[in-house]
Homo-oligomer: A and B are copies of this chain.
Amino acid sequence: MIPERSLEVLRAIVHDYIETNQPVGSKTLVERHAFGVSSATIRNEMALLEEEQLIVAPHTSSGRVPTDKGYRLFVDRLGEVKPLSIAERTAIENFMQGSADLDEILGRTVRLLAQLTNQVAMVQYPSLEKGHVKSVELIKVADNQLILLLVTDISRVQQHLIQFAAQLDEDFVSTLRAKLIGALTGASLSQVSAKLHDFTSQFAPNRETHVQLVLDTLLEQVDANRQDKIILAGTASLAKNEDDFKGSISPMLEAIEEQVVLLRLIQEMQAEENGVALRIGSENLLSEFSSSSVVVSGYEKEGAEVAKLGVLGPTRMNYSANISAVRAVARYLTQTLGGL
């Protein structure tokens, strides 16, 4: 429905605007891009694009700026995304090398992504919902304190301190430990609750409150895997691009600090055909992010998507470069996790 040349003009406008941060006018446009036509023709095209609400003029006598809708059309019809440069690829590989620990891998990943894109980078911790229990450990650290460890197959160990009213004897702890291991090893996290259904009855009545306390803590740990965590890097780039955002950046910083908000935001984003999900400006329902865009992609472990990563920046961002960076980093992370 929208003719090819109009699209071409839109592409050029987005491109120039991203580069110069100035509203772009018809004259400079024909100078920089070798359209075969004069500025007057471009003016007509631009009037059309404005009617379609794809671009807008900040004031009467100025050039045009893409609207959110304009950016959206731009990325949807982007065609090819620019592949990463060789320098970038080697940078990625060097960055990821020699990490064994999950925390370290994710930490490196998020810094890498921030560096590649010059935007705020976010990496969500893997959801363990689909994980399995590898082992459970009880470690006595004081007469009345245990540390409960839950080891799952996504290279992560959770720990929690349990405080008891009374002293604990070694025998009780070790039988409890053995029975827990027996009952849970290999179970998927979603099964844990069911598997423990009648667990307490194995113990003498006077032990029951202690056992129950441990079970409660354990279930809490399992539950904690559902509300995941997110790590960030590159928040300084918000300040650097400050005038790209309407208003102050401080509500954005606040929202970012509230992990819950961010998590909900990226949770509800569903990937499109090219593997990444994209929200542009007002497509983000939260008002704090109405002049920001978010690019996210899922990453996988053992063939299943376990969490997401992505970047957050002004709507005036380099979509092509950022999309390919997010995609590449997600792929490398998937690959790195596969090697564990």
* Chain A residues engaging chain B, CB cutoff 8 angstroms: 100-102, 134-135, 137, 139-141, 147, 149, 151, 153, 155, 157, 159-163, 233-240, 242, 248-251, 253-254, 257, 340
Contacts and interface: CB of A to CB of B under 8 A. Distances in A.
Contacts of A155: 161
Q: How many copies does the complex hold?
A: 2
Contact of A250 (B159, B161, B236): B236
Contact of A161 (B100, B147, B242): B100
Given A102-B161, A157-B159, A233-B257, 10 more contacts: A100-B161, A135-B141, A137-B137, A147-B157, A235-B253, A236-B254, A238-B250, A239-B249, A240-B248, A242-B248
B257 A235 contact: yes
A137 B254 CA distance: 40
Contacts of A153: 141
Contact of A251 (B141, B234, B236): B236
A245 to B, nearest CB: 10
A340 B238 CA distance: 40
A331 B112 CA distance: 39
A141 B151 contact: yes
A250 B241 CA distance: 9
A238 B249 CA distance: 10
A255 to B, nearest CB: 9
A162 B162 CA distance: 27
Nearest to A152: B141
B163 A100 contact: yes
